[in-house]
Amino acid sequence: MNRWDELNIFFRRTNTTVTFGLNALRGRRKAPGNGSTLHVGGWDGRNARDLMRYTVNKGYRVESWELGNELCAGGVEAKVKAAQYGKDVLRLKRMVERVYNGTAAGGRLPKVLAPGGFYDGPWFSEMLRVSGPGVVDGVTHHIYNLGSGKDKELINKAQDPYYLDKVAQTFSDMEATVRESGPWSSAWVGESGGAYNSGGKDVSDRFADSFWYLDQLGMSSVFGTKVYCRQALVGGNYCLLNTTTLAPNPDYYGALLWDRLMGPGVLQTTTTAASPYLRSYAHCSKKKPGVTVLLINLSNSTAFDVTVDGDMDLHPPPHKLLEADAGAVCGGKREEYHLRPEGGDIQSPVVLLNGEPLALGPCGQIPELRPAVVADGCASPLRVEPHSIAFVRFTGFKAPACA
């Protein structure tokens, strides 16, 4: 258990929220038949129980335990039938209840997650039906909608609005499955790195990837996704930290701004611009008053002037009007965080914040992310340059949903 002890020292020092994935193939056997990837029999959870007991005795904090990895439906190299998986998830739930009995902080048990694989409606519904009400706390699915990291068209897919829109159906179907078959639960993206095969060289670790990544954070939120786990912090081309220097890649800064600015309240937005190349998402600001808007300009040549207002009856200015929550009142200041690639090259590993390159300090400190402040808030148009991304907090935007 030395490695687990060392990891928990790291988790404690970094205040990390931990989800631990358990081996769901333990105890099963391959079904007969040449080339069959089906595994049959019940899950042997004794090893998981021993780890759980050790974790509790040491006082380590695990927020959730997830059963399995990519075993649902057709699986990836191996699969398990949904009914059997549902029985095994129920067993995991009972295990958590017994091991943590009377020890969980505040009386809150760790969550149980499943199945951690690619979405398949009938399979997910059957698993939830068999496991039963209140068992699965987070229904986890994986997303790699950009395809293979070796695809020469990867960089084009990441900035193609029509291609990016395709995955909306998966999020919509997932939301419907949870609502109809597991309303006690919530949808989670348990793993997503854009492109599989460790992502694409000079794409997944460059500014270009932020188009896909931040758009998907916004899109998944619209469809009720509660947690989004990025693959990976370190390792592969899709890592958030450079594998050699551990310096942040562009997506790290996008994730950091999302985490700091976008609250859990998701607002509906209506746009009047005809162009699909300007993507827009709006949330109640995180732990502060106002509304934060995420604007992503996928165009390499067109800038957009954006006006934000809560009045659905205003005449739109040129280019675009973003309307959020009819009846809202807009006022106060505007805090702008404009992200652009260095030199205008979307394959640059360097991201500019309001024109200044983001780089670690001499002792490895994350740079301060300072906004540009506009005094008149909603009164003047906001320009979003080609191939750029903007987080904009409207400090005095009073949306009823954010009250």
Q: Could you give the angle at the alpha carbon of 237 between the alpha carbons of 232 and 241, nearest 5°?
A: 55
Check 66, 77, 175, 191 and give the catalytic one: 191
| 125 CB-near residues (< 8 Å, 6+ apart) | 177, 180, 181
Q: By three-state DSSP, how is residue 222 classified?
A: helix
Query: Which one, of 329, 334, 333, 331, lies nearest residue 400 by Cα?
Result: 329
Contact call for residues 393 and 334 (beta carbons, < 8 A): yes
Do 47 and 23 form a contact (C-beta atoms < 8 A)? yes
Annotated active-site residue in 6, 63, 66, 70: 70
**DSSP code for 133:** T
HSE value, Cβ hemisphere, 13 Å, CA-based, for 80: 30
Rg (alpha carbons) of the chain, rounded to whole number: 23
Q: Active-site residue 70, yes or no? A: yes
Distance from the first to the final alpha carbon of the chain = 47
Which of 228, 229, 227, 232 lies closest to 205 in space, CA to CA?
232
Q: Give the orientation angle of helix 168-181 with respect to helix 121-131, to 10 degrees.
A: 20
Region for 61 from its dihedrals, namely left if φ exceeds 0, alpha if ψ lies in -120 to 50, beta otherwise: beta
DSSP secondary-structure letter at 296? E
Q: Residue 106 carries which DSSP code?
A: G
Q: Which of 251, 216, 234, 232 is nearest to 349 (CA)?
A: 251
Contact 293, 308 (CB under 8 A): yes
Q: Are 231 and 242 in contact (CB under 8 A)?
A: no
Confirm whether 191 is a catalytic residue.
yes
Catalytic residues: 70, 191
